[in-house]
Amino acid sequence: MHTDFKQELNEQQLQVVLETERPLLVLAGAGSGKTRSLIYRCAWLIKEKKVPPKNILMVTFTNKAAKELQERLQNILGYSVQNLWVGTFHHICTRILRNEASFLPFRQNFSIYDENNQLSLLKKIYKEHSLDRERFPLQPVLNRISSYKNRLLLPEDLNEYNLEISMENYKLDRTVPKIYELYQQNLLQNNALDFDDLLLYTAKLLQNNELVRKKYQQQFQYVMIDEYQDTNYAQFEIVHQIAAEHQRICVVGDDDQAIYSFRGATIRNILEFEKDYADAIAIRLEQNYRSTSHILELANAIILNNRHRHSKTLWSELGEGYKPELFVYEDDMEEANKTADLILQLHEEGIPFREIAILYRTNAQSRVFEYACLQRNIPYTIVGTVHFYQRKEIRDLLAYLTVIFNPSDNNSLLRIINEPPRGIGSVSINRLMEFTSQNHLSLYQSIQNVQAIQSIQPGIKKKIAEFAEKLEDWHRKAENTPVLDLVKEVIDSLDLINHYKNSKDPAEISRVENLIEFVSSVSEFSERWIEEYDKSPLLEDFLPFVALQTDIDRVNEAADTVYLMTLHNAKGLEFECVFITGLEQELLPHLRSMNSKYSIEEERRLLYVGVTRAKSRLFLSYAKYRRKYDSFYFTEPSIFLQELDPNLFAGYNDAVTFKPKPANKVYAKPKTLNNNQFYIGQKVWHTEYGPGLVLNVDGNGPEARLTISFSSGKLAKIIASYVSPEPI
Selecting among 70, 184, 257, 292, the annotated active-site residue is: 257
SS3 category, 111: strand
Residue 54's pLDDT is what? 93
615 part of the active site:
no
* Run of H or E residues at 564: strand 562-566
pLDDT in tens, 422-460: 888 889 998 998 898 888 889 999 999 989 888 888 899
Residue 250's pLDDT is what? 96
Cα 210 → chain centroid: 33
Selecting among 41, 144, 338, 613, the annotated active-site residue is: 613
CA-to-CA distance for 45 and 57, rounded, in angstroms? 12
457 part of the active site:
no
* Run of H or E residues at 719: strand 715-719
Selecting among 226, 254, 255, 355, the annotated active-site residue is: 226
Selecting among 20, 35, 287, 550, the annotated active-site residue is: 35
The parts of the chain modelled with pLDDT lower than 50 are: 2, 629-630, 653-657, 661, 663-675, 728
Give the number of other Cβ atoms within 10 Å of residue 191's Cβ: 21
396 part of the active site:
no
Nearest to 336 by CA among 627, 97, 72: 627
φ, ψ for residue 586, nearest 5 deg: 75, 0
Residue 8's pLDDT is what? 82
Give the pTM. Answer: 0.78
448 part of the active site:
no
SS3 category, 320: coil
Residue 728's pLDDT is what? 42
User: 3-class secondary structure for 253-273?
Assistant: ECHHHCCCHHHCECCHHHHCH
Residue pair 577/344 in contact by the 8 Å Cβ criterion: no
Residues 6+ apart with CB under 8 A from 118: 142, 194
34 part of the active site:
yes
Nearest to 343 by CA among 576, 558, 171, 121: 576
The CA-to-CA distance between both ends of the chain, in Å, stands at 86
CA-to-CA distance for 393 and 508, rounded, in angstroms? 9
CA-to-CA distance for 170 and 268, rounded, in angstroms? 29
227 part of the active site:
yes
SS3 category, 44: helix
pLDDT in tens, 580-621: 999 998 888 888 787 777 889 999 999 999 999 999 999 999
* Total count of residues recorded for the chain: 728
Selecting among 114, 196, 197, 227, the annotated active-site residue is: 227
Residue 669's pLDDT is what? 38
Residue 537's pLDDT is what? 92
Selecting among 13, 34, 255, 617, the annotated active-site residue is: 34
CA-to-CA distance for 618 and 296, rounded, in angstroms? 11
CA-to-CA distance for 190 and 124, rounded, in angstroms? 13
* Run of H or E residues at 599: helix 597-611
Looking at 573-644, which runs of residues are DSSP E strands?
A: 575-580, 614-628, 631-634
